[in-house]
Amino acid sequence: MELAFLVTLLAAGIRSGTAILFATIGEIFAERSGVLNLGIEGMMLMGAVSAYGVAFATGNPWLGLGVAMAVGGLMALLHGMVTISLRADQVVSGLALTFLGSGLSAVLGAPLVEVRNAPRLPVFPIPVLADLPILGPIFFNHNVIVYLGLVMAPLAWWYIHRTRPGMELRAIGEYPAAADVLGINVNRQRYAYVVFGGVMAGLGGAALSLAITPLWIEDMTAGQGWIAVGLVIFASWDPLRAALGSYLFGAIRRLPLDSQNLPFFLAYPQLGYFMNMLPYLFVILLMLISARSEMRRRIGAPAALGQPYVREERGV
């Protein structure tokens, strides 16, 4: 009984943490390059609404997925232009992007709220592996987009730590002047990673509306974009830790749903309200823990995070 519950919960956690995982990985890249993007929530919402709308209109969920990624990328490009080229404040620009995204998605999505039958991304149990006990249901019996998340986290880690472009990425976020004198085009790379972050946030939004909770309602991300910002810090800018955090968050988020039939909760239905707070309490707790331990370790944020890069031409 308990084991079955745990397996269901973990499988649901991985499924429901996938959206936030994409957004978190994207933000890790943007921040590692030195650009903070607080617009994730807005980009996810726009991704979710455009994915759902396109899938409904064309009948092709894959097209919806692609459009969502493009929309996220375009919104991030706007953020890039404002913060990298015009050197405006990254926090302000990111907040504006979130407001833009949540407002615009609400307006564009209004007619979609009634639609409940847009095509979804398919569930694909992996042959043989899906039949394994315990591991099968947890890892190998999922929507296709969940597998993408499972593959992407280690791939992102490998890119950052084991490839030449990844090495350059770490450098431009930490000491852009050092990269610049060696002929690396700091701002061009920052644009690329910021746009990539937007593409991933759009993908996360699409994962929500096409697979995880396949429908569109206004403000359906319910703060997941903000939680992604927090997870980046918890993960110390590391995609593998981001996967751990995202899936854990997903599980906690699913806890109220999956546990409501347990006898204990049937006796105390009021607990449901408390359980709904858990994901957010969890994030606050994570932030407290990581703030403490990061202080003591030397790993921290990319040193140049939040600062526009200008080749200094002054003084004598």
Partner 1 sequence: MLGKPCSLTPLLPQCTVGFDLAIPTLLLTQIMTTSSYAVEMRGITKRFPGVLANDRIDFQVRKGEIHALLGENGAGKSTLMNILSGLYRPDEGEIAIHGQVVEFHSPRDAIRHGVGMVHQHFMLTPSQSVAENVFLGAREIGFVLNPQRMAAEVRRIAEQYRLPVDPNAKIWQLSVGEQQRVEIIKILYRGAEILILDEPTAVLTPQEAENLFVTLRSMAADNKTIIFISHKLEEVLSIADRITVLRSGRVAATLSAQSVTKTELANLMVGRQVLFQLEKPPVQRGEVRLRLDRVCALDDKLLPALREVSLTVHSGEIVGVAGVAGNGQRELAEVICGLRPLTSGTIEVAGERMAHLTARRMIDVGVAYVPEDRNTTGSAPNLSVAENLILKSYRKTEMGAGPFLDLAAVERTATSLVKTFNILTPSIKTPVRKLSGGNLQKVILAREISGQPQVLIAASPTRGLDIGATESVRSLLLQERSQGAAILLISEDLDEIFAISDRIVVLYEGRIMGEFETADAELTEVGLLMAGGRAPSASPGT
Q: Which residues bind partner 1 (CB under 8 A)?
A: 162-168, 170-171, 174-175, 177-184, 295-296, 298-299, 303, 311, 313-316
The smaller minimum CB distance to partner 1, of residues 185 and 276, is found at 185
The smaller minimum CB distance to partner 1, of residues 263 and 315, is found at 315
Cα(268)–Cα(253) distance, integer angstroms:
19
Cα(52)–Cα(208) distance, integer angstroms:
9
Q: Least distance to partner 1 from the beta carbon of 233, Å?
A: 16
CA distances from 6 to 65, 113, 139, 228, 279 (A): 31, 33, 13, 24, 17
Q: Least distance to partner 1 from the beta carbon of 180, Å?
A: 8
Q: Least distance to partner 1 from the beta carbon of 134, Å?
A: 35
| Helix (H) or strand (E) run with residue 125 in it | strand 123-125
For the chain, the straight-line distance linking the first and the last C-alpha, in angstroms and rounded, comes to 75
The smaller minimum CB distance to partner 1, of residues 163 and 276, is found at 163
R_g of the chain, CA atoms, integer Å: 20
The smaller minimum CB distance to partner 1, of residues 114 and 313, is found at 313
The smaller minimum CB distance to partner 1, of residues 226 and 237, is found at 237
Q: Which of 162, 37, 8 is nearest to 95 (CA)?
A: 37
| Helix (H) or strand (E) run with residue 29 in it | helix 2-32
Cα(253)–Cα(16) distance, integer angstroms:
8
Give strand pairing partners of 142: 124
Q: Least distance to partner 1 from the beta carbon of 234, Å?
A: 18
Q: Least distance to partner 1 from the beta carbon of 167, Å?
A: 5
Cα(45)–Cα(51) distance, integer angstroms:
10
The smaller minimum CB distance to partner 1, of residues 119 and 166, is found at 166
Count of Cβ atoms closer than 10 Å to residue 120 Cβ = 18
Q: Least distance to partner 1 from the beta carbon of 150, Å?
A: 22
